[in-house]
Structure 1
Amino acid sequence: MADSFAEETPVEETVAPGTDIEMVEGDETAADANGAAPDLPFAEDAPEDAPAAPRTTFIQYLTSPVVTLLVGSGDNETILTAHQSLLTQSPFFAEACAEFANDGSPRQIELSNEDVDAVGCFLEFLYTGEYFPRKVPGQRALESDPAVPKVDDTGDQLLKHARVYTLAEKFGLDKLKNLASSKIHCVSSTAKGEIAYARYVYEFTTPEDTTIRAPIANFWATRSHTLRREAEDEFRSLCLEFPQFGYDVLTRVLDEKLKREKTEKMHPATGSARKRPRHSNV
């Protein structure tokens, strides 16, 4: 069953346990509406009346120094490498690379608290302008991945893109943030998967980040009356753990109620008003 993040009047419906929920993006401006891969971060468009800037070839990026990235810590530490000229498209890495000395000493950056898969997606985006699974052109869907189930019952698929989103925020790459956000809305999941995703977002994003938080609150405001039966304990725990989540959902429920009341006052239904019972004197 396809549900929408768009703000609309809740409609009573029955959702059987285990039914998949297809997340729908509320703001298509965050990504290419045609599903096309965004430009590479280093491909900047110049104004039409401005002289064209000299084009930097891809070979020039590949001939820049190689930087070693230490992702994770302890037994989970993974070593990745990337070309410095591509990394410095990110303000975070531009600042880090500015500290390197040109004396042949190792160029190394520690990312001990980052998820290796998210960093891998970030590097894939730097080199190709996309990351797997890619968006299907012209559709609100992702290319098939035989390694993952079609319905995300655990939230792992949602969390993959959510981690890329928060990493892109930290590294200062808006194009990657928008791409990750658009992919979140292409994942079909269950209530338990949605709760795992919501918990991550409310833990690792700021209240001001309405791009990713608002669709979650809208989603649960319009669907929680049916979906919470599928994961009521997890829903209660989430509300207690993150009061802001419960408040955001409640605010939208009340806003919808006010909208309905205003609509009913402006366009009262004829013949639907109930009269007070008349008491007979007999």
Structure 2
Amino acid sequence: MTSAIITLCVGPDQRLFAAHEDVLCHSPFFQAACRGQFFESTSKRIDLPDEEPEIFSSVLEYLYKGDYYPRLEFDKRRNQWQLEDGDAGARAAAESTVHHNAVGGMVLKDTVIYCTAEKYALPELKRLALRKQGLQSGVQCSTILSSARYAYAHTPDSDSKLRAHYLALIVRSRATFKRSGTMQMEMELGGRLFFDLFVAMSNHIDDVANAKSPR
């Protein structure tokens, strides 16, 4: 903790954060910035106007502590992973989403963190965010769909893990989505998400048919 202090100016409102250079440089993205690619060496400041302060705060927490709130905990009694304060369902649900300025609405926080980790080349943070995402429940259809669109827009085609999570989630919850007017509007917009969803649903139907066919 003896390295230089870097000021980070985040979001359209220019919220200020401070972090040690050595900590930031765990990310190749910030390592390049601190070496002068687009870094103002005289002021030791990095501008991140497109980031959401709440998301960047979680990324910074991860860089210092190896996790971000709510932390991941292993319940030995149940032999399963859970989020801290896991019994506080309403509170957890409220804190699982974030208003994203670029989207103009709510998206799942873990999805945005996953995509930010992709940008900053932090693979362990991606794995952590994906595992936490899988523990979320009670999310509205509209939020799932906006988050799925965000995931498709901010991950490369070569990275299928987060996309596959959403496809599986929609297939499992197809009865709810079938009744959703939001789903109909989203499908009319089209895009890669719904082609992949069509393939996933077709594969699911084939798997069900094969399971029921006589041996």
Instruction: Name the TM tier (shorter chain).
Output: 0.7 to 0.9
- Which has the larger helix fraction? 2
Please state how far the C-alpha of 1:99 moved relative to its aligned partner.
Answer: 1.2
Alpha-carbon separation, structure 2, partners of 1:147 and 1:71: 30
Greater Cα shift, 255-264 or 141-150: 141-150
| Other-structure match for 1:212 | 162
Which one of the candidate residues 40, 52, 56 is aligned to 1:119? 56
| Other-structure match for 1:68 | 7
Higher RCO (C-alpha under 8 Å, 6+ residues apart)? 1
**Aligned in 2, Cα 1:109/1:151: closer, same or farther, shift over 3 Å?**
closer
1:256 is aligned to 2:204:
yes
Please state how far the C-alpha of 1:204 moved relative to its aligned partner.
Answer: 2.3
Alpha-carbon separation, structure 2, partners of 1:154 and 1:228: 24
Which one of the candidate residues 73, 79, 86 is aligned to 1:136? 73
How many aligned positions are there? 199
**Aligned in 2, Cα 1:153/1:107: closer, same or farther, shift over 3 Å?**
closer
| Other-structure match for 1:90 | 27
- With structure 1 as the length reference, what TM-score do the two structures score? 0.63
Q: Is the 8 A contact 1:155 1:194 kept in 2?
A: no
- CA RMSD in angstroms, aligned pairs only: 2.6
**Aligned in 2, Cα 1:88/1:117: closer, same or farther, shift over 3 Å?**
same
Alpha-carbon separation, structure 1, partners of 2:117 and 2:155: 12
Q: Is the 8 A contact 1:72 1:112 kept in 2?
A: yes
Q: 1:190-209, aligned counterparts within 5 Å?
A: 190-209=140-159
Gaps of 5+ in 1: 1-61, 268-282
**Aligned in 2, Cα 1:153/1:179: closer, same or farther, shift over 3 Å?**
closer
Alpha-carbon separation, structure 1, partners of 2:97 and 2:20: 33
- With structure 2 as the length reference, what TM-score do the two structures score? 0.81
| Other-structure match for 2:125 | 176
Q: Which amino acid aligns with 2:195?
A: Y
1:245 is aligned to 2:193:
yes
Gaps of 5+ in 2: 99-105
Q: Which amino acid aligns with 1:87?
A: L
Which SS does the other structure have where 2:182 is aligned?
Answer: helix
Q: Which amino acid aligns with 1:208?
A: S
- Which has the larger strand fraction? 2
| Other-structure match for 1:56 | none
